[in-house]
Amino acid sequence: MSKTRKVHKQSQTLEFFQRMTKAFSAKLGIILLALIVLVCLAGPFFSPYEVNGVDLANMYSGPSSQHLLGCDSMGRDLFTRLMYGGRYSLALGICASLFGAAVGVIIGSIGGYFGGMTETVIMRLMDVWSALPGTMLCILVSSAMGSGFFATVLALTVGGVPGTVRMIRGQILSERSREYIEAAQSINCSNLSIMFKHLLPNVIQPIIVTMTMGIGSCIIMAASLSYIGLGIQPPNPEWGAMLSEGRAYIRTYPHLILVPGIIIALAVFAINLMGDGVRDALDPKLRD
Amino acid sequence: MSDHKKEIFLSVKDLNVIYTQSHKVVHAVNGVSFSVPKGTTLGLVGETGAGKTTIAKSILRILPDPPAKILSGEIWMDGEELLKKPEEGMLDVRGQKIAMIFQDPMTALNPLMTVGDQILEVLLLHNNYGREEGMKRAGEMLETVGIPAERYGEYPHQFSGGMKQRVVIAMALACNPELLLADEPTTALDVTIQAQVLDLINQLKEKFRTSMILITHDLGVIAQTCDNVAVIYAGKIVEKGSKEDLFDHPSHPYTKGLFDSLPSLAGDDEMLHPIAGMPPDPTNLPQGCAFSPRCPYASEACREGDIPMQEISPGHFCACIRKGGLK
Amino acid sequence: MFRYIVKRILMMIVILWCAGVVIFTLTYLVPGDVASLMLGKEATVEVINQKRTVLGLDQPYLVQLGRYMYDTFIRLDFGDSWIFSSSVMAELAVRLPRTLLIGLSAMVLNVTIGTLLGIFAGTHEGKWQDSLVMIIAMVFISAPDFFVALLLILLFSLKLGWLPAYGIESMACYILPIISCALGGIAVNARQARSSMLEVIRADFVTTARAKGQKEKVITRKHMLPNAMMPIITGVGGGLAMVVAGSPVIESVFSIPGVGAYMLAGVNQHDYPVVRACVIFFALFCSVAILIMDLCYAFLDPRIKAQYSKGKKVK
C-alpha cells in the first residue's frame, strides 16, 4: 500500500517538472536563473578581487579583460560586486517571499478554517492593513527597523500579507464546503490535522505560484528601497544599492547604472518566466 | 421511403474534419454523408465526443480554425456549395437560412446584453427593420417561446436555465430559418423542463415548416422528434435510415448496443446492458471498423480496411460487414 | 445601490481611522529620540527637553495618540512640519497636483495602451505578434521602474537632449516620469487583457454571435470587448493606487517635489507629521479610487449590480 503511494507521489512530482519544462520560456527562465544563482554563489571564490577592494588606478574604468564589467567610482571590480550583491538580492527576494507566504498562510488559514468571529476580526484587520499602500508600509517599516537584512525582509513582507491572506481564505472557503472535509470531521480528525493534512495541500498551488512571482517583485522592491536610501546600505553591494551609487555618475559613466540595472531585470525576468511556467504546470485546466 | 422523393434541402458529402492539438491530430469527423429533405428532422445520435457538434458547426462554418480544419467534403444547401462560399456570403446564411441552438444555455448568451437586444441583433442583421420595429418583433419572439415581452430588458442572469434556452430558441427562430441545427438543446436542462423545451421546438418547427438536424445522445428524444436517424460512432455514421427502420430493426452492433443499454420499463431485466469498453482515442483510431474492439460480433475481417455503407433495405444503410445479419 | 454606497463610505471612514492609529503607532515606535535627532549632537539636555515639550513628545502614548486622532480626523488638520514649521496641509495642496498629474496620466496610458496591446496579442494567439508583445511585456514587468526611468533619462535627456531629466519647470518635465510610471502598468494590463481576451474568444456566446451571421469585427467590438474589459476595469482602482504609492521612488529619480518626495523627506528627517499626513492621504486616495472603480464595475456589469441591489428587490 505504502509502496504504491510513494510511486504515485514521485510520478506526480516528475510529471510536474515535465509539464513545467515543456514550454520553451519556462525552460529558458530556469536555465537563466540557475546560471545567475550559480555564478553568484560560486563566482566570488574565483574572483581575484575583494568585494570592497578599492583600486584608485582603475576608477570608472570600462569593461576590459581584467575587469570584465569595469570598475566603479572607487575602482572596485563591478563583476565581483555584482556577484556578492546577487547573494543579497536573491536571498532578500527568496526570504521575503517565503516569509510573506508563511505569514499569509498562517493568518489566512486560521481565518478561513475557523470562520465566524475569528474570520471577521481577521478580515477587518486585513482591510485596515491593506488600506495602507504596500510601498508606504514598506518604506515606513524599513525606516523604523533600520537597514539590517532581517529588517529589510520584514519591510518587504509587510505590504503583501493582506493579499496573500485574502487569497488563502478564499481558497479555503471554497475547499471547506467540500465533502472530503466533512468526511475528515466525521472520523474525528482534529482541527489542526484537518487544516494541515487536508486543507493546505489543496490550497497550496496558488500559494506556490504567488510565491514564485513574489520573489521577483520582492527583488525589485528591495532594489527600490536601497535606491531611495533605505534597506540594504552601501558599501554592501546589493544590486539596488549599486544602482543608487551609480546614479551620481549617470552623465559620465553610465555603465555604473546599466550593469546592476540590467542584472536585476534579467534575474527578475528569469524568475517571472519560471513563475509563468509553474502556473501553467499547476493549472489543471491546461492538463491534457 | 417516401422522404426520398421529397426535395433535399441540405446534403453533406464525405465530410472530414480534424483538430490539431499540440502536434496530435484528432480525427473528429471521418467521411460523413447524409441529407435532410425539406421539412423533416434528422437525428444525429452518438456518444459525447463522437463528432456531432463538429458536424453542425461545420455546416455553419463556425468551427474555431485553428485548431479545427475541414479537410474535405461538400455541403450543399439549395444547390449551393457552402464550403466554397466566400465568408461574406456565409454571413447571410448564418442566422437567416440556417440557425443553431446551442447545448449550454448558461454560456450561450452574452452576460452583458439584455436578452431582447440579443434577439434584436439577429433580426436587424437579416431584415430591413428599423430599431423600433425590430424591438417589437423581438418582443413577439419572446412571447412565441413563452416569455412575457416585458422581460425584453432583462439580463441573462435573471433567467433560469430553461428560460435561457427559450431565449436561445427565440434567437434561432427569429429570422425564420429553413434549417435549424439543435445541438443537444435539452441536455443541460432539468428533466421536467426538457419535455417543455422539446415540445416547444416541435411546435415551432411545425409552425414555421423548418427542417431540423437534432443532435442528441438520448434515444428518447429521437423517438419524440425525428423522421430520420443517423448513428455516429467515432466521427463516422455507422447506421442511418428512417426512425422506424432504426427503432424496429437496429442493424449495426453499436446501434443495438445503444438500445440494449436503455433501461426497459416493460421488460423484467434487472440489469442494464452497457456497451463494454470505452470509445476509441480519436488521435489513434483503430484500423477498419472503429467499433470492432468493443463489438461482441467482431472478427478478423472487421479490422481490415474500410467497412463500406451498404443498403440493407430501401433507405436503411448500415456500415457492418455482417450486412444486416443482426436480427 | 445608494445604501450600498453609503455603507461603503462609512466603512472606508472607519478603516481610515484605524489606519491612522496604525500609522501613528508605527512612527511612535521608531527608535531614537526625535528631538535630539532634530537638534543635532551639540544640543544641551535642557534645549532638547524644551523641544520635546513643544512637540508634545513628553506626553504618554495614549495622550499623543488622542491628540493626533482629534487633530487629524475631527479638525482635519495635519499640523505643522517639525522641521520647517510650515502647515503640512498647505504643502500637500501645492504638491498634490504634481503627483496626481503623473499618476492619472500614467493610469490612462496603462489602461488604453495596455488593453489595446493585450487585445492585439490575444487575437493573434500563438503567432509571432503575440510572442513579441508578451516578451516585451515580460521585460517591462521585470525591470524596476526606477531603472527604466534612469534609462529614459540616459537616452532622451543625456544622449538626445530632447527632454529635461528633472524638475517641474515645464510640462515637458512630466513626460519622462509619466512614461516610466506607465510602462510597467502597461505591461501588466497587456497580460491581463490578453488572458481575458483569450477567455472571451473561446466563450460560447461568441460562437452564438457568429451563428447569427454577425461580422467578425462587430463581434469583437460588441461581444468580446465589453466582456474582456471587465477584469481590466476591476484592476484600474488597484493599479492607480499602485502608481501613486510608487511615487516616492519615481519622484526621487526625477527630483519632482510631489507628495511622494515629501513623504520620503519626512521619513529621512524624522518629520512625522509630514509622514503621517502623506500616508493618510495615500490611503484615502487609494480607498476612494478603489471605491469609485468598484462602483463603475457594478454600473457596467448587470450581474454585480443585481448583487448590490438585492436587498432592495426582496422587499
- Check residue C301 and give its pLDDT: 79
Query: What's the pLDDT tens digit per position in A45-62?
Result: 777 777 676 666 666 676
pLDDT of residue A268: 92
Å between A184 CA and nearest CA of chain C: 34
Separation CA C282–CA C288 (nearest Å): 10
Interval C206-234 mean pLDDT: 85
Chains in contact with C via at least 3 Cβ–Cβ pairs below 8 Å: A, B
Cell numbers standing for residue A73: 567610482
Q: What's the CA gap between C315 and A60, in Å, rounded?
A: 76
Do C79 and C71 contact (CB within 8 A), yes or no?
yes
Q: Domain C92-311: what homologous superfamily? A: MetI-like (1.10.3720.10)
Q: Which of B66, B91, B168 sits opposite C213 (nearest CB)?
A: B91
Say if the Cβ atoms of A257 and C154 lie within 8 Å.
yes
Instruction: Write the pLDDT tens digit of every residue in C130-153.
Output: 888 888 998 898 888 889 988 888
Q: Give the three-class secondary structure for A4.
A: helix
**In sequence order, which residues have a C-beta less than 8 Å from that of residue B195 and are 6 or more positions away?**
none
C-alpha of A11 from chain center:
27
What residues contact A56, with CB distance under 8 A and at least 6 apart? A74, A75
Model confidence over C28-52: pLDDT tens digits? 877 777 777 777 777 777 777 777 7
Which residue on chain C is closest to B175 by alpha carbon?
C212
Q: CB contact, 8 Å: B158 with chain C?
A: yes
| Domain range annotation of chain C | 2-74, 92-311
Q: Which of residues 179-218 of C touch A (CB under 8 A)?
A: none
**Model confidence over A71-123: pLDDT tens digits?**
777 767 778 888 888 888 898 899 999 999 889 888 887 887 777 888 888 88
Residues C213, B111: C-beta atoms closer than 8 Å = no
CATH of the domain at B21: 3.40.50.300
3-state secondary structure of C87: strand
- Amino acid making up residue B48: T
Average the pLDDT over A190-196 and give the result.
74
Record: contact A133-C23, CB cut-off 8 A:
no
Separation between Cα atoms, residue C178 and residue C253, nearest integer Å: 12
CA distance A158 to A137: 7
C159: distance to nearest CA of chain A, Å?
9
Q: Who wins on pLDDT, A286 or B280?
A: B280
Q: Which of residues 193-212 of C touch B (CB under 8 A)?
A: 202-205, 207-212
Nearest to C158 among A133, A136, A251 (CB): A251
Mean pLDDT for all residues in chain A: 79
C3: contact with B, CB 8 A cutoff: no
Task: Pick the closest to residue B303 from B318, B317, B326, B285 (CA basis).
Answer: B285
Does C223 contact B at CB distance below 8 Å?
yes
Mutate to test the interface with C, among B82, B121, B175 (most CBs of C within 10 A): B121
CA nearest C302 in B: which residue?
B112
* Per-residue confidence (pLDDT) for residue C311, from 0 to 100: 45
Q: Where are the domains of chain A?
A: 34-39+76-282
C chain contacts of residue A140, beta-carbon cutoff 8 Å: 23, 26-27, 267, 275, 279
CA distance A37 to A43: 10
* Residue B139 resides in a domain: no
Answer yes or no: is B35 within a domain.
yes
- Tell which C residues from 257 to 296 touch A, by Cβ distance under 8 Å: 263-264, 267-268, 275, 278-279, 282-283, 286-287
Interface of B with C in 98-117 (CB under 8 A): 99-100, 102, 104, 107-113
The phi, psi pair for B160, rounded to 5°, reads -80, 170
Report the residue from C22, C139, C150 with minimal CB separation from A250: C150
| Chain C interface disruption, residue of B23, B110, B124, B152, most C CBs within 10 A | B110
Instruction: Find the CB nearest A265 among C18, C139, C241.
Output: C139
Residue A230 at interface with chain C, using a CB cutoff of 8 Å: yes
Q: pLDDT at residue A224 above 60? A: yes
How far is the alpha carbon of C264 from chain A, nearest alpha carbon, in Å? 8
> Is the CB of C227 less than 8 angstroms away from the CB of B112?
yes
In a domain, B239, yes or no: yes
Write out chain C residues lying below 8 Å of A227, CB-based: 144, 146, 249, 252-253
Q: Where are the beta strands (DSSP E) in C60-203?
A: none
Chain C 118-177, CB below 8 Å of chain A: which residues? Answer: 138-139, 141-147, 150-151, 153-154, 158
B-chain CB neighbours of C211 within 8 Å are 60, 62, 94-95, 99-100, 102
* Spatial distance between the Cα atoms of B264 and B275, rounded to a whole number of angstroms: 16
Provide the sign of the torsion angle of the four alpha carbons C239, C245, C249, C253, taken in this order: positive
Please give the tally of structural domains in chain B: 1
Instruction: Please give the order of strands across the beta sheet that includes B80-81.
Output: B24-37, B8-21, B68-77, B80-81
Q: Average pLDDT of chain C?
A: 82
Tell if the CB–CB gap between C213 and B90 is shorter than 8 Å: yes
pLDDT tens digits, C179-205: 888 888 889 889 888 888 888 888 888
Which residues on chain B are in Cβ contact (under 8 Å) with C208?
Answer: 100, 102, 108-110, 118, 168, 171
Apex A87 CA angle, A86 and A90, nearest 5: 75
Nearest CA-CA distance, residue C267 and chain A, Å: 7
Rounded mean pLDDT for each run of 10 residues along chain B, 327 residues in total? 63 87 80 86 84 86 81 84 82 86 85 89 85 87 84 87 85 85 80 79 81 86 86 86 85 83 67 77 79 79 79 83 60
Cell representation of residue C304: 454585480
Q: Measure CB to CB from residue C154 to each of A128, A129, A250 and give the nearest one.
A: A250
Q: What's the confidence (pLDDT) of residue B270?
A: 65
Write out the residue range of the structural domain in which residue B298 sits.
Answer: 3-84+179-186+215-264+272-318
Retrieve residue B38's grid coordinates.
425539406
pLDDT at position A270: 92
- A272 contacts C144? CB cut-off 8 A: no
In tens, the pLDDT along A1-15 reads 344 444 455 566 677
User: From CA C109, how far away is CA B117, in angstroms rounded?
Assistant: 32
Across the A:C interface, residue pairs with CB atoms under 8 Å apart total 122
Rounded CA-CA distance B245/B260 in Å is 16
ipTM over 0.85: no
Give the gap in angstroms from C-alpha C220 to the nearest C-alpha of chain A.
25
On the 0-12 / 13-18 / 19+ scale of CB atoms within 10 A, C64 is: middle
C-alpha cell of A3? 509502496
**Which CATH code is given to the segment(s) A34-39+76-282?**
1.10.3720.10
Q: Chain A: residue nearest C31 by CA?
A: A144
Residues of C in contact with B99 (CB under 8 A): 211-212
Question: What is residue A12's predicted lDDT score, i.e. its pLDDT?
Answer: 65
